[in-house]
Structure 1
């Protein structure tokens, strides 16, 4: 019998397992694919944007110093609207923080989390394994799995579901999810510009959707370029030289010429939200609960705040000898997370709807809004605090503090 069983070993699920290590609970982590990260770095390594708030969560987990050497900080953010006058500039120095955020390669973060998972005797990795049924009674959750062709069953007092936006386990629990199609596709790649990035990020809004450049190590940028669904295939079909010319025309020359692009990939953009987070002794977190448009880079960071809040409550339960699957604990978790969910969903969805629009009068209003944010300190502070993940109730990990055990 596990105290806590986590389904999904991605960044959120693995981070939760690592966060709970100080509690000395029996934890299981089910993942459909073998863990393991390529040792050799590649120009094309995919990257993750971590808010300043997320860096504090990893600090509270005792991981930040180990991770720091592999991240690039964001000191400046430049926000603009293609074809319209006006821009907003956010600065770390204005907020008196060491950075507005950080960019880290998925490989680097994944390798660190895997090392932490394998160094604790209280964590059992059930990998690779697939969940095909979930049943509950008053005292436990029974999870049926298939591993290496063998069918088995494990029990847990609390089931945490973090197996992605298309969560099969969420469906098994009978938790529905609302879904809104943006009819947009994100094209991602790493690119290099003639001018050094100097830890500056860009969010440039276009009629087709936002275009973001995030500073990476080794002078690279991580590109997230939103296209209308019907247009992305043509861009993907371009050779590198033509691709860079098209990107240059869309972004401009603020960073000089684009001189290199790596491998490209795409994924469709949707807004998806579980109608509830709790079903009996099970709770859904991360993308299983909420999948967002990548504008403003809020998705993973929202999931890490799930981790911080749930870890805080489970630490309190452990101190008092309370059942980790206690209904009151899970109801408290769900209630605490709602204001953050509502604010972030509204924030990202509003940005997409306002800025992915070529209606001329709206363009002038957007320009005025960007100028206002740039020139009104209180408004700029609100936007920056939202981007850094600092606007809502802060769990101990979110304040950079270790769990109370």
Structure 2
């Protein structure tokens, strides 16, 4: 089957943050590719509000500095930053022990180490940008199956109760790890169950956060408090990520809001003064899920479909975003060379280039959980010494800061930046 007979070039299963960002990046970087997004939730320009105000219970995502750079490349940051609170300081500590380390943006000549962005606002910004781009939407609809072809794929889509076929060069699975499409296509994920749950809520404290993100390691697991609110004025609201086992989670959910604040105060401490309010509590089980071989001819997994991490270090979406841009770079080079974007050589080269990043990020995140999840006195003393060492040794502190900021030397992939002579060449 030739490219001219294809219905589209790129089919993206999932129009959430990962899928929508990929669609926008391809539209900006490789505009000659036709993009179709298949999303299970209805999408309409009428749903975009003219005046947006986040609610108290709005969910948010931690964006590393490197992710800001990516959104700047896509021309989205100036709008997105309207509801993105800067993280100017990071304080990492071991609850009840002396170990601690501190990072400050000014020490790295940055205005922020990262940001806490409102999820719904990010989605609205992406939708507004995509409405002006050459992107086709099939929604509400879902991808239910795929068949490889000689020059691409045939995707089965269920829409309005009926099944229809769509052909393209490549299918990108960006619908998360819970849809079942990944397993249906034959990918085998590896899962490590941490035996814990993440409780997500927004909280208010008596003292302003001063744009500080707190990472606290406790006997029951890590917790994070991330600054929220105005990008210009330090407020009193923070986004809470609290790790709890099943028993502790059940007991906490039965408490009144006042008692929840007391329980949180006991675990977090008084660095932000009194905890005066806690909002709607959501929770989900914590697992590390990875797929060693996330590509096949004509299909590639991205985002949570490829790797889902513990939220302890806020690395999940940032890792996914770097992977998306690495994939777009391969699409651009393949298109320049007249090679199908779904060819195994193209997708394998993407996986090769992205593998070191995701392996190191997974190891970094998983190691934090295992090291700080140990309560034996010798290990507790060793990690306290490690935190103090990070605070005192400049080289170690710079390494830790680079991990937090998500800056790994990624090259920009906008059209003005040409591939170097060292770029891989593909065989048709």
Q: TM-score range by the shorter chain?
A: over 0.9
Residue 396 of structure 1 corresponds to: 412
Task: Work out whether 1:342 is the aligned partner of 2:359.
Answer: yes
Contact kept, 8 Å, 1:312 with 1:395, in 2: the verdict is: no
Cα distance per residue 1:147-193 (max 9 Å; x no partner): 11121110110111111012422222211000000001001100111
Deviation at 1:133, TM superposition (A): 1.5
Deviation at 1:247, TM superposition (A): 0.6
Residue 9 of structure 1 corresponds to: 15
Residue 287 of structure 1 corresponds to: 304
Residue 62 of structure 1 corresponds to: 75
Cα pair distance change 1:404/1:21, threshold 3 Å: farther
Task: Work out whether 1:198 is the aligned partner of 2:215.
Answer: no
Distance in 1 of aligned mates of 2:262 and 2:415: 48
3-state DSSP class of the match of 2:9? Answer: strand
Task: Work out whether 1:304 is the aligned partner of 2:316.
Answer: no
Cα distance per residue 1:219-272 (max 9 Å; x no partner): 210000100122101111111111111111111111111111111110110000
Residue 150 of structure 1 corresponds to: 162
Contact kept, 8 Å, 2:83 with 2:121, in 1: the verdict is: yes
Cα pair distance change 1:37/1:178, threshold 3 Å: farther
Task: Work out whether 1:234 is the aligned partner of 2:247.
Answer: no
Contact kept, 8 Å, 1:45 with 1:105, in 2: the verdict is: yes
Residue 36 of structure 2 corresponds to: 28
Contact kept, 8 Å, 2:197 with 2:246, in 1: the verdict is: yes
Distance in 1 of aligned mates of 2:182 and 2:292: 11
Residue 64 of structure 2 corresponds to: 51
Runs in 1 of length 4+ with deviation above 4 angstroms? 36-40, 401-405
3-state DSSP class of the match of 1:217? Answer: coil
TM-score scaled by length of structure 1: 0.96
Runs of at least 5 residues in structure 1 that lack an aligned partner in the other structure: none
Instruction: Considering Cα pairs closer than 8 Å and 6+ residues apart, tell me whether 1 or 2 has the greater RCO.
Output: 1
Task: Work out whether 1:252 is the aligned partner of 2:269.
Answer: yes
Distance in 2 of aligned mates of 1:301 and 1:310: 14
Deviation at 1:358, TM superposition (A): 1.5
Residue 382 of structure 1 corresponds to: 399
Quick one: which of 325, 331, 334 aligns to 1:314? Answer: 331
Task: Work out whether 1:161 is the aligned partner of 2:180.
Answer: no
Residue 372 of structure 2 corresponds to: 355
3-state DSSP class of the match of 1:97? Answer: coil
Distance in 1 of aligned mates of 2:393 and 2:19: 39
Quick one: which of 141, 149, 152 aligns to 1:140? Answer: 152
Residue 18 of structure 1 corresponds to: 24
Contact kept, 8 Å, 1:396 with 1:402, in 2: the verdict is: no
Contact kept, 8 Å, 2:10 with 2:36, in 1: the verdict is: yes
**What's the C-alpha RMSD, in Å, of the aligned pairs?**
1.4
Distance in 2 of aligned mates of 1:45 and 1:76: 23
Contact kept, 8 Å, 1:37 with 1:107, in 2: the verdict is: no
Task: Work out whether 1:94 is the aligned partner of 2:107.
Answer: yes
Runs of at least 5 residues in structure 2 that lack an aligned partner in the other structure: 1-6, 419-428
Contact kept, 8 Å, 2:146 with 2:153, in 1: the verdict is: yes
Distance in 1 of aligned mates of 2:309 and 2:54: 28
Contact kept, 8 Å, 1:37 with 1:110, in 2: the verdict is: no
TM-score scaled by length of structure 2: 0.91
Residue 424 of structure 2 corresponds to: none
Report 1:68-147 matches (<5 A). 68-120=81-133, 122-147=134-159
Residue 364 of structure 1 corresponds to: 381
Deviation at 1:404, TM superposition (A): 4.3
Task: Work out whether 1:215 is the aligned partner of 2:221.
Answer: no
Deviation at 1:403, TM superposition (A): 6.0
Cα distance per residue 1:288-334 (max 9 Å; x no partner): 00000001100000000111101111122223332211222111101
Contact kept, 8 Å, 2:54 with 2:118, in 1: the verdict is: no
3-state DSSP class of the match of 1:268? Answer: strand
Distance in 1 of aligned mates of 2:54 and 2:373: 35
3-state DSSP class of the match of 1:253? Answer: coil
3-state DSSP class of the match of 2:332? Answer: helix
